Amino acid sequence: MTAQIHSISDSFRVESPRDGAQGAVVFSSPHSGRAYPEDLLRASRLSAHDLRRSEDAHVEQLFADAPDHGAPLIHAMVPRAYVDLNRGPEELDPALIQGVRPAGLNPRLAAGLGVIPRVVAEGVAIYTGKLTQAEAQDRLRRCWRPYHAALQDLCESARARHGHAILIDCHSMPSDALRAAPRVKGRRPEVILGDRFGVSCAPWAIEQVEAAFREAGFAVARNSPFAGGYITQRYGRPGRGVHAVQIEIDRGLYLDEARVAPGPGFEAVRTALRPVVAAMAALEPPASALAAE
């Protein structure tokens, strides 16, 4: 099968299998967008390059084979610095957006990482002043809501066809984030799988994903330092037959992090991921799990 662009908007694309034979698995890359809107570039105190420090750069390319195996891939076009599609729409930062009242302790908002981020990586401020409520709501209307409407539709369509759906939420992480991570058989982990400590998917789902990465030679850990964000929390409903697993890949494996460009290991990592993507696209619950449903 060859992928084609099935849908496009200002905020995302959906790459679908050409023959329409969608399986039970959906891939999502919410942080790989790099189409920087003019209103962000005008308002920001940072250069376009500095704004890119928050990207999960080129992650959608690492998982681009998914539609060849019957799994749609939805990926962001607008960047995380503009709208964070892995945050809830209510996570508006009172330190950035006019008229927003503090609503209890939220560590993400305190760090400037709301749905409209106040900072990029390492806490560097994006703006010199505040945004209006109208600006924030317009971004949610044009970017956040279309992405999640499409993602919800993909998951519901998969569940309607197969009785279950499996969402693979694809991200990358700065190499520095792994400095204190526990070693995996003496190696620093290269992939962190998140299931919100067993809440967002059934055990068989994360076990099969982990096995696919391990067979490809990756050092894999679970839930630390990343257990899953808004997407795994919202969509992972194993009791309803929808399972969500977050994947975080060490950017140092494939990216020149200073240049935010594919690094020397890019093609090798993409090649190593091909059988992993194929295996994940074919994920199925074991017969014992189906009998229990």
The percentage of residues in the chain with a pLDDT greater than 70, rounded to a whole number, is 95
What's the pLDDT band for 2 if we cut at 50, 70, 90?
Answer: very low
Length of the chain: 293
pLDDT single digits (tens) 48-59: 999 999 999 999
Query: Residue 165 CA to chain centroid, in angstroms?
Result: 17
How much is the average pLDDT of 247-273? 96
Alpha carbons 240 and 16: distance in angstroms, whole number: 24
Mean pLDDT of 65-71: 96
Instruction: Summarize pLDDT for 179-215 with one digit per residue, the tens.
Output: 777 788 888 999 999 999 999 999 999 999 999 999 9
Share of the chain above pLDDT 90, in %: 83
Unique residue bearing structure tokens 């074991």: 286
At residue 150, does pLDDT exceed 60? Answer: yes
What structural domains and CATH numbers belong to the chain?
3-292 (3.40.630.40)
Rounded to an integer, the average pLDDT of 83-99 is 96
Say if residues 168 and 200 touch (Cβ distance below 8 Å): no
Of 156, 181, 182, the residue nearest 167 (C-alpha): 156
- Using CA atoms, how far apart are residues 27 and 145, in angstroms rounded to an integer? 18
Rounded distance between C-alpha atoms, residue 288 and residue 290, angstroms: 5
- Nearest-angstrom CA–CA distance, 55 and 53: 6
| Residue 105 pLDDT | 78
Residue 74 has pLDDT above 60, yes or no: yes
> 253 and 265 in contact (C-beta within 8 Å)?
yes
Res. 5: pLDDT tops 50: no
Mean pLDDT of 255-261: 94
Is the pLDDT at 71 greater than 70? The verdict is yes
Read off φ and ψ for residue 54, nearest 5 degrees. Answer: -95, -10
